[in-house]
Chains A and B, each alone.
Chain A
Amino acid sequence: MYVAVKGGERAIDNAHAWLAEERRGDTGVAELSIAQIREQLALSVARVMAEGSLYDPDLAALAIKQARGDLIEAVFLIRAYRTTLPRFGASNPIETAAMVCDRRISATFKDLPGGQILGPTFDYTHRLLDFALAAEGLDPAPAPQVAAPDGALPHVTDFLAREDLIQPEADGPATPRDLTREPLDFPADRPLRLQALTRGDEGFVLSMAYSTQRGYGRTHPFVGELRIGTVAVEMEIPELGFAIELGEVVLTECETVNQFMGSKTEPPQFTRGYGLVFGQSERKAISMALVDRSLRWEELGEDNVGAPAQDQEFVLYHADNVQATGFLEHIKLPHYVDFQSELELIRRLRAEALGDQAREAAE
């Protein structure tokens, strides 16, 4: 008796209803609010904003709630929403030198103008489960405060630049290509690569960076500076003739200082890798800086040692987790037509191979 896969439509509707129920979980437990996710799962929200390429903490929190905490699914929801939004224009380039920093550290200088600001970091916490957190209602005591430093904190690499010790960066194109509006094309210039990396999967970018540290390629840079804080976003309004502030975004910026002994074309000088990510996302920003530097081998006249992180096609085509997840998971879809044709082929080849063996045995 042949039972066709009929009723796909009803099955889909029922699956969605069940999914909604599972998302909510036990209704005896209070429902999560968007504000709770935004405030208490802020680093998840940051990741979804960064990889979703849309700065909106409330929407990211909503996506996390809808995706049951699956962050790649949440990124996907944000991307699919983002692509429908009208484009009114582009902001002015943001000025990270004017960032109001929550955190700013340099691994290359013990002290520097503006000082080292540790900020809210996991770095020196002991990773011991805090069972006190399991008992709710214990708000932490307010952290000690000091007055914010006066004026902007200069970038650490500026000090090296003054001595000409670090490679100056060429001006990029006035309007960088937009990865989300044009097909990816190779060779990809640096602004395009950085765009792909900042929205790339954190795990992928991390592993690519790590591979260059372990010997597939060679980067073991110094973190010249890592800063996290708030910058203003301004936009030029043609009718007004001047720029107005649209709002503020939290960013993480990392500049690495890489050893560089010079090449056939370039004198010995320090060089940079650059990472810039929405929200507080140090792992991603540092990883991005390492991969950025690794992908610059050609421009700096270095050898291509065949490392994966030097291959821009490899890195850029595989960094996007929404693309990767979709294609990976599409193998769940029915493939019985292709499988049937493979089945026939294998049966035929097998029959021939077994026939050959039998004939040889007979001889």
Chain B
Amino acid sequence: MNAYNFAYLDEQTKRMIRRAILKGVAVPGYQVPFASREMPMPYGWGTGGVQVTAACLTPEDTLKVIDQGADDTTNAVSIRKFFEKTAGVAVTEKTGEATIIQTRHRIPEQTLTEDQILVYQVPIPEPLRFLEPSEVETRKMHALEDYGLMHVKLYEDIARHGEIATAYAYPVKVEGRYVMDPSPIPKFDNPKLESAALQLFGAGREQRIYAVPPYTKVVSLDFDDYPFDPSKPAHPCALCGAEDSYLDEVITDDAGSRMFVCSDTDYCAGRRGDGA
């Protein structure tokens, strides 16, 4: 792959992306527009995350890529192979060994450290999008910190359903200022958004990058009398017995029997290896 630069993107493009990342870090939760490039994989399949990862990678990095918490899902495999081919970096499935982790829809169970960067693939970066379709309007609402519409939505949920009926991509307020979409992670993962690691969010098709710097305050939106509940599965993992992890439900036969197993495959394998 000598025809392409290290990690595919040319240095000018990486510089442009790094500028957007730095701006995002300086203004936590703010969506920074960036000139997203066409990547050799489809929009909506992680092009934002891939561009952010490409701009952060150095030859010394160790990369982990997960989708739905697992290293072996097809799109995670495809993205990992892309960077093996174009950057020649070391790759790992072990959360603890990775310096950069690109993820779709999950935050690893294992607590991340200051030496790690977590890169999220984001489909729709705008938390207000389904309340207001116009980008011009939503940018204005963020600028004015006008989040009344979001609170009305959450209130209406409670009035109709008795609880906030959002199970994933649960909106958060970052450092007391911007309301942010944490990407479609289950709300179970929201508490992990306060982390020692740098968290970067890339939305390729929508041309936005945003960031949550280490130790930033991230509050899931709620009301005093209806506090945020990350919810926890009622079962332990059928494979490793973990009671603190997010579980996938797997249908095991035609009669609809099912079992619950860790969605974070590395976490589950590690626990089984430890004899837990």
Please list the residues of chain A having a beta carbon within 8 angstroms of any beta carbon in chain B: 1-2, 4-9, 11-12, 76, 79-80, 82-84, 86, 180-187, 313, 317, 322-323, 325-330, 333-338, 340-345, 348-349, 352
- The answer to whether B205 and A2 touch across the interface, beta carbons within 8 angstroms, is no
Q: Closest CB-CB distance, B44 to chain A, in whole Å?
A: 3
In contact, A338 and B72 (Cβ under 8 angstroms):
no
Please name all residues of chain B whose beta carbon is closer than 8 Å to the beta carbon of A79 when the two chains form the complex. 38
Residues in A neighbouring B45, C-beta threshold 8 A? 326, 330, 333
Interface residues on B, range: 35 or more
A8 with B35: in contact, given A337-B68, A337-B248, A342-B168 (CB under 8 Å)? no
A337 contacts B263, C-beta separation under 8 Å: yes
- Which of B39, B134, B186, B231 touches A337 (beta carbons < 8 Å)? B186
Interface-located stretch among B53-61, B74-82, B94-102, B217-225: B74-82
A8–B184 CA distance with the chains assembled, in angstroms: 22
Q: Chain A interface secondary structure, helix, strand, loop or mixed? A: helix
With A183-B33, A337-B263 as contacts: A313 and B135 at CB distance below 8 Å: yes
Chain B residue with Cβ nearest A9: B77
**Nearest CB to that of A6 among chain B residues?**
B72
Pick 28 A–B contacts, CB within 8 A, sort by A: A2-B238, A2-B239, A2-B250, A4-B70, A4-B72, A5-B74, A8-B74, A76-B42, A79-B38, A80-B40, A83-B37, A84-B4, A183-B207, A313-B134, A317-B135, A330-B43, A333-B45, A333-B75, A333-B104, A334-B68, A334-B73, A335-B68, A335-B184, A337-B106, A340-B246, A340-B249, A341-B167, A348-B163
Q: Roughly how many angstroms separate A142 CA and B159 CA in the complex, as a whole number?
A: 76
A residues near B40, Cβ cutoff 8 Å: 80
Of B38, B136, B207, B252, most buried by chain A (CB within 10 Å of CB) is B38
Q: Determine the distance from Cα of A349 to Cα of B74 in the docked complex, in whole angstroms.
A: 33
Residues of A near B68 (CB, < 8 A) are: 334-337
Q: Is B116 at the interface (CB under 8 A from chain A)?
A: no
Contacts of A9 in B (CB 8 A): 72, 77, 81
Beyond the given pairs A326-B42, A333-B45, A333-B75, 10 more chain A to chain B contacts, judged by CB atoms under 8 angstroms and listed by A's residue number, are A2-B239, A86-B10, A313-B136, A326-B43, A326-B44, A333-B104, A338-B186, A340-B246, A352-B161, A352-B162
